[in-house]
Structure 1
Amino acid sequence: MNWLFPRAVAGVMLVLAGAAAGYVAGLALKSPLLLGLLGALASAAVLILLDTLRGHRLLHWLRGNQQGTAPRDAGLWGELGYRIERALRKREQQVAQEQTRLTQFLSAIEASPNGVMMLDPEDHIQWCNRVAAEHFGLDPQRDLQQRVTNLVRAPAFVAYLQGGGSKGSIQFLGARGDVMLSVTVREYGEGMKLVLSQDITERERADRMRRDFVANVSHEIRTPLTVLAGFIETLTNLPLTEVERKRVLSLMAQQTERMQTLVSDLLTLARLEGGPRPPTDVWCDAGQLMAQMEQDAHNLSRGRHRLSFRIEQPSRLAGVESEYFSALSNLVSNAIRYTPEGGSIEVVWRVRPDGSGEFVVKDTGIGIDKEHLPRLAERFYRVDGSRSRETGGTGLGLSIVKHVMQRHGGELDMRSEPGKGSEFRLIVPALRVSVGGAIGGGVKAPAAPAASA
């Protein structure tokens, strides 16, 4: 308001000056009062004209894009232009900040692993992130303002959306047909809807695997328990000769051993899955592993197969010695069980050109169809269930081998052809292979039991 008093004084002085000039001129024309009044009016008109020009300049700036500075006139119009310009710049700054926040918010939603889609009260798509577009088979730009039910025609989703999402959430197959979605609808604002989608394919697969696992374990344990219960009833109710009693007790011991093996394998798997990652600075000798494995293989084969164990290059392996032994023992025992009498089994350790190493177990056994290879390392998966049970397998051996190699950063490679035998490779990464001699004699045999396939 510092402009008000000077402006009022200047206006009064200008009017008085005009009146005085008119009065002096009016003395010569014998009409001093009339000309004095006209002079005052003329001064007021000049003042009004100047204000009009200043106001016009300000209006012209306001009607434009306001990119430059407002007119810097003195007095009222200068003050008004300055304050309007400052308010506009402050508003522009606030809008820019809000736009930045909105961009950051949308970027955060875009980075979300879940799908987010915004609908207006008529279910037209206002915005969706990339994940939602993949889930529902949409184009994030082309499909804007389209009614979502015209694009996503899954009956469950349409009924759910029309019901306002009152059922909590629903599950149905996504646009590609191989993804299971969990979709939730939440209302916000004035009739707006937020559609949240989540890929639950892996969760559903894990749940299904857990259900299958429990069912398989129950089945595997129920069978020997049923046999044991029958034998116990036989021993209790029937008079048996000494030979019959010994035979029954022998069969009971076999079933008990089978359950113990199964429980041991399950505990081994649990330990492998929940245990810490194997160290990279604790070493074991590959030659000693092979020597112990060769001794166990001869005991298991009992001269029925031609066995060959060979080390192409002395090496040391970083990790858990008992786990390496358990993985290798599973492969060798499988080869012996599924190779007919008179067949040959070859076990080789070699260092590959890239610095990694591999245990190769090759046999001339019955072989496996290619269709079974992708699932062979799954828990309880058997190519021939009856044959596996006859040989004492639990269906967990190759699963243990796979987990051991994954924990050590390696992999299990399987190749087989029916009637021509199989070849299994335990590939150890270069980080865990050190080329050189044995780390010393007198190393005890690994204590961990080898699981049965």
Structure 2
Amino acid sequence: MKTDSLVFWWRSLALLLAMGLLALVLQPFFGGTIALATMLVGVLGLLAYHLRNLHRLGRWLNDPGPETVPESYGAWEAAYGQLYRLVRSQGKSQRMLSAALDRFVAAGEAMPEGVVVLDSQDRIEWCNPKSMQHLGLDRKKDLGQHIAYLVRLPAFQQYLTAQDYSQPAILRNLAGGDSVLSVQLVPFDSTRKLLLTRDITQLERVQTVHRDFVANVSHELRTPLTVVGGFLETLLDLPDMDPASRESQLKLMFEQTGRMQRLVEDLLALSRLENGIEIREDRVDVRSLAQVLATEAGGLSKGRHTLRIELQEGAGGVRGNYDELHSAFGNLVSNAVRYTPDGGEIRLKWRVEDGCGAFSVEDSGLGIEAQHIPRLTERFYRVDRGRSRSTGGTGLGLAIVKHIAQRHQARLDISSEPGKGSCFCIRFPTNRLLEPEELVTSGQ
């Protein structure tokens, strides 16, 4: 740039010197007046040349662009050349800045958390789609609006005015929904703020389940421990207790310790399933397994129920873990025995329908009301807590069944009608099914 400026001025000076020399050469021949007039005409011509180029420069400055830079010769050629390079460089810088800004905006748009930019008066300057979803904002209408006018929850209003943003605020029931948001203000640029939002609904649910789980386990263990402790205290206080009473007390303690043992075993089984350990796959003959389950159910029922097995001709087996499937099917069968009144009927069915293998247990028991069915596979969920404990259930059986089904890409379907009984069915996808000739019975 410095070189081009020097060229401009040296060329102008060179023209002036040339006109001065021409006047000196003309003076002896034509006199001083002619020489001076010649020099004056030259200076005026040079001035007109510069004025013309200054006018063109002024017009270009009103609408600058590399494609409209004026062209000239002489001293102005270097000046216009420098302007052209400068405009091209600035255009490139602007394009780079614009691309960087576009990338920054795109990154903000793609963030999984909500981001709202607030000015010094807490008015919205920009917001990304996730914040619009979280807070119910409308980018077209809400830019420039005070955030407090749009998020009216008292918890947020207090957080905004407290000026202590070291910890996030928790917002519940926003816009009448059941979502839970974590919001935090982050000051920046001396006067502006970032409002960051995150949906923690699922995290809250997990924490609630964890708290409920701990409370339920504590409750389930406390009752038998209290019973056993009470009986032991009685035995210590009454060392001369008659044999019949002692035997009765020991029998109850044995039942309670058995209940605790079943609970611990179910908890360990559920933990193993949830850890996602890869399963060993066997060729499970469901027809043969159904016969085993019927025998086990007969022992549990002790003749109080009618047991029937219905095996579809040609329905073979499934690829899966024999022990897990035995546990899942067995849970369904034992539940049917526990909750079906004496004299009722229990059916074990294995069939292939609509390309899926379906193992179902149907009973003629009391049935379950519709509002309970979606929650039956939750840990410790019971329709009738008193009846569940009296029948020896831990409240984890159907949760275990659900996890085993999922590990085999199967699903658990439950249908029931109060007073008419229930049907629990595990449906296996086609890729899990085996033809009868593919089955091997050894090792199962």
Specify if TM > 0.5. yes
Cα distance in 1 between the residues matched to 2:54 and 2:289: 97
Indicate the residue corresponding to 1:179 in structure 2: 179
The one-letter code of the counterpart of 1:50 is Y
Cα 1:43–1:103 shift into 2, 3 Å: same
Cα 1:418–1:23 shift into 2, 3 Å: farther
Greater displacement, 330-339 / 291-300: 291-300
Q: Secondary structure at the match of 2:231?
A: helix
Greater displacement, 293-302 / 143-152: 293-302
The 5 A counterparts of 1:29-178 are: 32-66=31-65, 68-166=67-165, 168-173=167-172, 174-178=174-178
Indicate the residue corresponding to 1:253 in structure 2: 254
Q: Secondary structure at the match of 2:139?
A: coil
The answer to whether the 8 A contact 2:71-2:80 is kept is: yes
Indicate the residue corresponding to 1:13 in structure 2: 18
Cα distance in 1 between the residues matched to 2:113 and 2:208: 22
Would you say 1:310 and 2:310 are equivalent positions? yes
Would you say 1:212 and 2:217 are equivalent positions? no
Q: Secondary structure at the match of 1:340?
A: coil
The answer to whether the 8 A contact 1:55-1:77 is kept is: no
The one-letter code of the counterpart of 1:91 is Q
Cα 1:156–1:399 shift into 2, 3 Å: same
Indicate the residue corresponding to 1:202 in structure 2: 202
1:437 to partner: Cα distance: 3.1
Q: Secondary structure at the match of 2:277?
A: coil
Indicate the residue corresponding to 1:243 in structure 2: 244
**TM-score, reference length from structure 1:** 0.91
CA deviation map 1:25-48 (0-9, x unaligned) = x3xxxxx11221111111111112
Indicate the residue corresponding to 1:395 in structure 2: 395
Indicate the residue corresponding to 2:268 in structure 1: 267
Q: Secondary structure at the match of 1:317?
A: strand
The one-letter code of the counterpart of 2:14 is V
1:145 to partner: Cα distance: 0.6
The answer to whether the 8 A contact 1:332-1:361 is kept is: yes
1:318 to partner: Cα distance: 2.1
Indicate the residue corresponding to 1:359 in structure 2: 359
The one-letter code of the counterpart of 1:273 is E
Cα 1:22–1:412 shift into 2, 3 Å: farther
Greater displacement, 213-222 / 140-149: 140-149
Cα distance in 1 between the residues matched to 2:323 and 2:317: 14
Cα distance in 2 between the residues matched to 1:58 and 1:201: 63
**TM-score, reference length from structure 2:** 0.93
Cα 1:193–1:237 shift into 2, 3 Å: same
Would you say 1:284 and 2:289 are equivalent positions? no
Indicate the residue corresponding to 2:380 in structure 1: 380
Cα distance in 1 between the residues matched to 2:70 and 2:365: 97
Cα 1:277–1:77 shift into 2, 3 Å: farther
CA deviation map 1:353-400 (0-9, x unaligned) = 2x2211111111111111111111111111111111110001000111
The one-letter code of the counterpart of 1:315 is G
1:138 to partner: Cα distance: 1.1
CA RMSD of aligned residues (A): 1.9
Extract unaligned runs of 5+ from structure 1.
Answer: 27-31, 445-453
The answer to whether the 8 A contact 1:305-1:344 is kept is: yes
Cα distance in 1 between the residues matched to 2:317 and 2:104: 53
Indicate the residue corresponding to 1:408 in structure 2: 408
Cα 1:22–1:406 shift into 2, 3 Å: farther
The one-letter code of the counterpart of 2:340 is T
The answer to whether the 8 A contact 1:19-1:39 is kept is: no
The one-letter code of the counterpart of 1:157 is F
The answer to whether the 8 A contact 1:135-1:175 is kept is: no
Indicate the residue corresponding to 2:192 in structure 1: 192
Cα 1:356–1:11 shift into 2, 3 Å: farther
Cα distance in 1 between the residues matched to 2:51 and 2:111: 58
Greater displacement, 128-137 / 168-177: 168-177
Indicate the residue corresponding to 1:334 in structure 2: 335
Cα distance in 2 between the residues matched to 1:439 and 1:337: 32
Indicate the residue corresponding to 1:426 in structure 2: 426
1:19 to partner: Cα distance: 5.7
1:331 to partner: Cα distance: 0.6
Give aligned-pair identity as a percent: 41
1:307 to partner: Cα distance: 1.2
Cα 1:328–1:68 shift into 2, 3 Å: same
The one-letter code of the counterpart of 1:86 is R
The answer to whether the 8 A contact 2:221-2:260 is kept is: yes
Cα distance in 2 between the residues matched to 1:36 and 1:282: 117
The answer to whether the 8 A contact 1:314-1:437 is kept is: no
Greater displacement, 304-313 / 37-46: 304-313
1:296 to partner: Cα distance: 1.2
Q: Higher helix proportion, which one?
A: 2
1:13 to partner: Cα distance: 2.2
Q: Secondary structure at the match of 1:90?
A: helix
The answer to whether the 8 A contact 1:136-1:152 is kept is: yes
The answer to whether the 8 A contact 1:19-1:40 is kept is: no
The answer to whether the 8 A contact 1:156-1:172 is kept is: yes
Greater displacement, 73-82 / 124-133: 73-82
Cα distance in 2 between the residues matched to 1:144 and 1:234: 75
Extract unaligned runs of 5+ from structure 2.
Answer: none
CA deviation map 1:194-248 (0-9, x unaligned) = 1011111111111111111101100100100000001111111112112221111
1:278 to partner: Cα distance: 3.5
Q: Secondary structure at the match of 1:337?
A: helix
Cα distance in 2 between the residues matched to 1:358 and 1:329: 15
Q: Secondary structure at the match of 2:140?
A: coil
